[in-house]
Structure 1
């Protein structure tokens, strides 16, 4: 849920399920604490507290979402009655009139805005990402604002949520169930109000579990944090739910805008407290040992408050690869409107250490400020671009990668991406991406390096302009900080006019999106969730799969081989009969000669079931016969690999016999 505040002074590990060929699971130890800013050791810590599970809850036994629920969520605002931040709104108006300085002009060569129409031409040199599959998550409807949350497991289960609903999909886009957040998290059993919003979810690849959080209530009396821990890697199995107080300081405040992360031993929830006049009070952090939550046992936790630097919207930093880091965790924060500082925090150890500290490192950065609200095609209705808070952050090998949106080239918002070295607390690279036309907002980042020291990332975002409907895009920033052109992941089909906040000229458009590296995918794939404008002038959530190199069995794009004399012809395969009910299914191949090939049968989630052929392909191999008598009804894939690269993939449908 978005909020507007008056700014101060101005204003346990689980066994992994069988998966695709796995990447190594890393458990990285944080580097030694820097001595650079130890005078900023200042935060209060609560005594240890305990919460208890409401009992194992089985989603498949909960009441599912109805058309009436979806209609209500599309028209109900999940915003509350917070005061407008006059500083942020003033900056947007000034930017729209071209009265603010272009902050991108002040940065160095490595920090120039990169786009086809501006910046150094060699900036557009990284590989353009590819879109491998996507589907519309219609089961969760069109929340207002959407607040897109999504995570994917190593076996391809997807948990996605918006205000105020949640759904589980497989990677083929089949809905396995959808619920209101109130129903899914057994709000009735917990005795809390039916006012669930601001969902956020992650996949803890170190523990092979999902972690879900949302806010309940928007008054001090009603305010709760709803926590969900999956009991296995399959989110259709049982979950353990806990409810923590939102008015934790008993100072007549309520909790808003949760941001979550995880480390080797713990999960973290950061958020903001607002008082009864809906003015910002302070940011707080919950520190929670996670093993008990995954097991459904009593949950010990503590929280941090009175944090130095008066941070606003702290962003926990999760591990970027497959595994985790620790002990403790990192956090980053920005002020909402304009600033010259990134606030970096190091929670030095686990709760069990008893001598853990929260250290603060203020880092001077290039000035930034929020740009104007975004235009749309065929309407004067604007889209709210939010503010300059840090949206998303990941950690890998002494580097925190974080993203936010702020004014860039011309008068529009661009994507700002920073690399923060945690050993000396400095920004070592920065990249601003802007075309000068589109407004880019609500970015998310995923690490995609080939080695732990490779700093390559993918960044997704939402975009719009006066000649384009709201859509979803992505780009690649490689290890050398070169940026690619941007890829369209979802094309808008209509403008958005979904406001009921009293402001009839601006619609909500955020307040965040999601990007998740799929653990164990080979080659590496990243999945995201964001919203585009539809023909009903509302939002549709798009779940999309992107990558940089290679193909994934689920939905490989067509690959053009070129016209050179030495180019090998493209492998093709045909399956007959298809669908198949019993007996044998035949697979005929073309252009397999003179290649080392592996031919595999994959499950609907892409898990290898058996190898049909492996070795040097003989000219006599033109077809294979596959016995499907032992397969359950459903879809399967026949994957053809040349080395580690998928060169063909054919779907088989098995029906009831």
Structure 2
């Protein structure tokens, strides 16, 4: 089934208002394939000879190298970089480990090297199972038991799927779905049109050792001699989205790219292990008459996103400032509703230079650790609707590889706009960033950005920076220093291509990361670490009661702490001061909002402390007076007010349902000033008498 849609552009800056996005859709019969169960996969010596380097569309790298040469010739002037606002504290570094192999039969461990490139991915469950993947294996750590979790230490991706050990798995992606308490694993298989596939695996439980439900998507879905590369994924409540590029084999990359695709899958069917999984393929996505390249899925700040968003840019340009923002609003059966806006950032990006190592020829722009291009590598939508995203770029001041950190403000609205900063260093090259939300309440917009670093005097390792609610950055934190430079290929070595990072949902402010570092043997492997945000305390609110002598003379003070002062208070929906006068027994809705817009509220019942002794108060008074008296029994009580001439001024009768201490209040305002006698009677006997002075 195939349909063609043409959808009007909603808004574009500096572009024709008549530009359009075109998209076609198809659906497929996707059957559940053989499960794979990590605890049942035994280590083997299964001999195979494969290329040392994972397959990808950068096989035609000479053309990209030419762009890097042109950029190096064009941008030679080195000037000081603009200073970021760097007043935020650094995140704190906690637990960490490199991945390693466990030889269970002899009780020893050994190194576990990643493929070329690493392609780091990471997901962590609420139970503390940290699942990581690299080319071409998955590995897990149990935080609670402080041990490797996969029964046989790791599972090779080649062992997954109906053609286990005959296909080559690469480009792994991982997610943890908090609502389902399950993992999702997506990776590619093979790089030719006749056997290209996308493996989509759903864990059957929250233990990755248990069976995984597996579905295989066609990597050449349109049967037109293509294969799929560069996957990314995100989830909504109902759907799993997977993006990729369709590649024409055996031609240059300028003509070899044949469009980006979006797979939309029934997520709940996958977690249920249904025999088939509902799906929809969005393909031939064009802006005007050109394919949109390298769509990157936007994730939600807390995992799921409410509406599926995708970002793209001019990733092969030497310098550009355009960002394409797509959003998908249709389900598996509704008419196609793919929307696009194009925005210009206030800061340009461009193809980054390669990362330099000790053995890098610094006069050769094609040498060093390869940074690929400037595509978006990480994006999350915050609770306020803004989208923060990161990529690798050239710093056009110091000509280093650097991190591009952008924010799409007011995403989804016609007044949306983009601002960006460049995270850079005068010596180190930075590459392959990703980011995760680190707030401790929904209104927080803070993130931790993780990335790889290298330089002629620093071995390849991992770093991170904290971005605060006040839009300032911390100093860069080194997570893991490399032990040597990397040298596994002739010429430049691979670096990246991805950085794994996820918020740890049970502990707001904490994230786990997985990145690239150089080993002592000049190889590369993955390191996993725990980082904690230095965010200020969560906004909290409490009420302090100051008793008053009159029932309706009770003072309540709202006391906010944490968050970002100043605070704005409201009482029952009306803005006011931090104090409020109320009656005992009233229920008040107290609300506070801090300077960031974060807010919290609660209902407060105003107490009224009745004195222990019998009394009238206040006395003297000009208005309300309260009477505390002891009733010997239940029954009618008569309150009588007499002037000094013995004339009864007022009589009131109330019914008491119980004996004991009671409080009665009435208003003396109608009386003329003077002295009065107040009597409380039960069964014609006085139980309390007092003189009252009316001012």
Regarding TM over 0.5, the answer is: yes
What SS does the aligned partner of 1:188 have? coil
What corresponds to 1:281 in structure 2?
258
Query: Does the alignment pair 1:403 with 2:400?
Result: no
* Alpha-carbon offset, residue 186 of structure 1: 3.6
Looking at structure 2, the residues matched to 138 and 97 of structure 1 have their Cα atoms a distance apart, in angstroms, of 42
What corresponds to 2:116 in structure 1?
144
Looking at structure 2, the residues matched to 513 and 284 of structure 1 have their Cα atoms a distance apart, in angstroms, of 22
* Alpha-carbon offset, residue 368 of structure 1: 1.7
* Alpha-carbon offset, residue 387 of structure 1: 1.0
Moved more, 205-214 or 295-304: 205-214
Contact 1:261 1:317 in 2 (8 A): yes
Query: Does the alignment pair 1:444 with 2:434?
Result: yes
Q: Can you list the C-alpha shifts for 1:194-228, whole angstroms capped at 9, x where unaligned?
A: 21111111112232221111111111111111110
* Alpha-carbon offset, residue 497 of structure 1: 0.5
**Equivalent of 1:316 in 297, 304, 315:** 297
Looking at structure 2, the residues matched to 216 and 233 of structure 1 have their Cα atoms a distance apart, in angstroms, of 25
Query: Does the alignment pair 1:340 with 2:304?
Result: no
Moved more, 486-495 or 393-402: 393-402
Query: Does the alignment pair 1:412 with 2:400?
Result: yes
Moved more, 150-159 or 36-45: 36-45
State TM-score, norm by structure 2.
Answer: 0.67
Looking at structure 1, the residues matched to 475 and 354 of structure 2 have their Cα atoms a distance apart, in angstroms, of 23
What corresponds to 1:293 in structure 2?
270
Looking at structure 1, the residues matched to 46 and 424 of structure 2 have their Cα atoms a distance apart, in angstroms, of 39
Matches within 5 A, 1:108-127: 118-120=81-83, 123-127=85-89
Query: Does the alignment pair 1:538 with 2:523?
Result: yes
Looking at structure 1, the residues matched to 44 and 349 of structure 2 have their Cα atoms a distance apart, in angstroms, of 42
Moved more, 272-281 or 441-450: 272-281
Matches within 5 A, 1:534-613: 534-549=519-534
Matches within 5 A, 1:449-528: 449-499=439-489, 504-521=490-507, 523-528=508-513
* Alpha-carbon offset, residue 489 of structure 1: 0.6
Q: Higher strand proportion, which one?
A: 2
State TM-score, norm by structure 1.
Answer: 0.70
Contact 2:161 2:216 in 1 (8 A): no
* Alpha-carbon offset, residue 40 of structure 1: 5.6
Backbone CA RMSD of aligned residues: 2.6
Looking at structure 1, the residues matched to 452 and 21 of structure 2 have their Cα atoms a distance apart, in angstroms, of 37
**Equivalent of 1:214 in 187, 191, 205:** 187
Query: Does the alignment pair 1:263 with 2:236?
Result: yes
Looking at structure 2, the residues matched to 254 and 36 of structure 1 have their Cα atoms a distance apart, in angstroms, of 33
What corresponds to 2:53 in structure 1?
77
Q: Can you list the C-alpha shifts for 1:569-602, whole angstroms capped at 9, x where unaligned?
A: xxxxxxxxxxxxxxxxxxxxxxxxxxxxxxxxxx
Looking at structure 2, the residues matched to 268 and 473 of structure 1 have their Cα atoms a distance apart, in angstroms, of 29
Q: 1:471 to 1:65 in 2, by over 3 A?
A: farther
Gaps of 5+ in 2: 1-7, 102-111, 362-366, 537-695
Query: Does the alignment pair 1:57 with 2:29?
Result: no
Looking at structure 2, the residues matched to 76 and 135 of structure 1 have their Cα atoms a distance apart, in angstroms, of 25
Contact 2:95 2:529 in 1 (8 A): yes
What corresponds to 1:373 in structure 2?
354
Q: Can you list the C-alpha shifts for 1:320-342, whole angstroms capped at 9, x where unaligned?
A: 11x5232x400001222222211
* Alpha-carbon offset, residue 376 of structure 1: 1.0
What corresponds to 1:169 in structure 2?
141
Contact 1:386 1:510 in 2 (8 A): no
What corresponds to 2:65 in structure 1?
89
Q: 1:518 to 1:66 in 2, by over 3 A?
A: farther
Q: 1:66 to 1:294 in 2, by over 3 A?
A: farther
* Alpha-carbon offset, residue 101 of structure 1: 7.3
Contact 1:534 1:540 in 2 (8 A): yes
What corresponds to 1:424 in structure 2?
413
Q: Can you list the C-alpha shifts for 1:239-288, whole angstroms capped at 9, x where unaligned?
A: 10011111111111011111111111111110001112241111111001
Looking at structure 1, the residues matched to 61 and 161 of structure 2 have their Cα atoms a distance apart, in angstroms, of 35
**Equivalent of 1:358 in 334, 338, 350:** 338
* Alpha-carbon offset, residue 379 of structure 1: 5.4
What corresponds to 1:304 in structure 2?
282
What SS does the aligned partner of 2:173 have? strand
What SS does the aligned partner of 1:291 have? helix
RCO greater where, 1 or 2, for CA within 8 Å and sep 6 or more? 1
Looking at structure 2, the residues matched to 333 and 81 of structure 1 have their Cα atoms a distance apart, in angstroms, of 17
Looking at structure 2, the residues matched to 491 and 120 of structure 1 have their Cα atoms a distance apart, in angstroms, of 25
Q: 1:306 to 1:254 in 2, by over 3 A?
A: same
Q: Can you list the C-alpha shifts for 1:606-645, whole angstroms capped at 9, x where unaligned?
A: xxxxxxxxxxxxxxxxxxxxxxxxxxxxxxxxxxxxxxxx
Q: 1:118 to 1:100 in 2, by over 3 A?
A: closer
Moved more, 139-148 or 528-537: 139-148
Q: 1:101 to 1:364 in 2, by over 3 A?
A: farther
What SS does the aligned partner of 1:90 have? helix
* Alpha-carbon offset, residue 400 of structure 1: 1.1
Q: Can you list the C-alpha shifts for 1:279-336, whole angstroms capped at 9, x where unaligned?
A: 1111111001100101110101011111123221111111111x5232x400001222
What SS does the aligned partner of 1:293 have? helix
Contact 1:45 1:302 in 2 (8 A): no
Looking at structure 2, the residues matched to 277 and 241 of structure 1 have their Cα atoms a distance apart, in angstroms, of 30
Gaps of 5+ in 1: 1-32, 106-116, 552-657
* Alpha-carbon offset, residue 418 of structure 1: 0.8
**Equivalent of 1:434 in 419, 424, 429:** 424
Equivalenced residue count is 492
Q: Can you list the C-alpha shifts for 1:513-564, whole angstroms capped at 9, x where unaligned?
A: 111101112x53100111101111010210011012399xxxxxxxxxxxxx
* Alpha-carbon offset, residue 171 of structure 1: 2.5
* Alpha-carbon offset, residue 424 of structure 1: 2.6
Looking at structure 2, the residues matched to 406 and 66 of structure 1 have their Cα atoms a distance apart, in angstroms, of 42
Contact 2:122 2:131 in 1 (8 A): yes
**Equivalent of 2:168 in 181, 190, 195:** 195
Looking at structure 2, the residues matched to 67 and 56 of structure 1 have their Cα atoms a distance apart, in angstroms, of 20
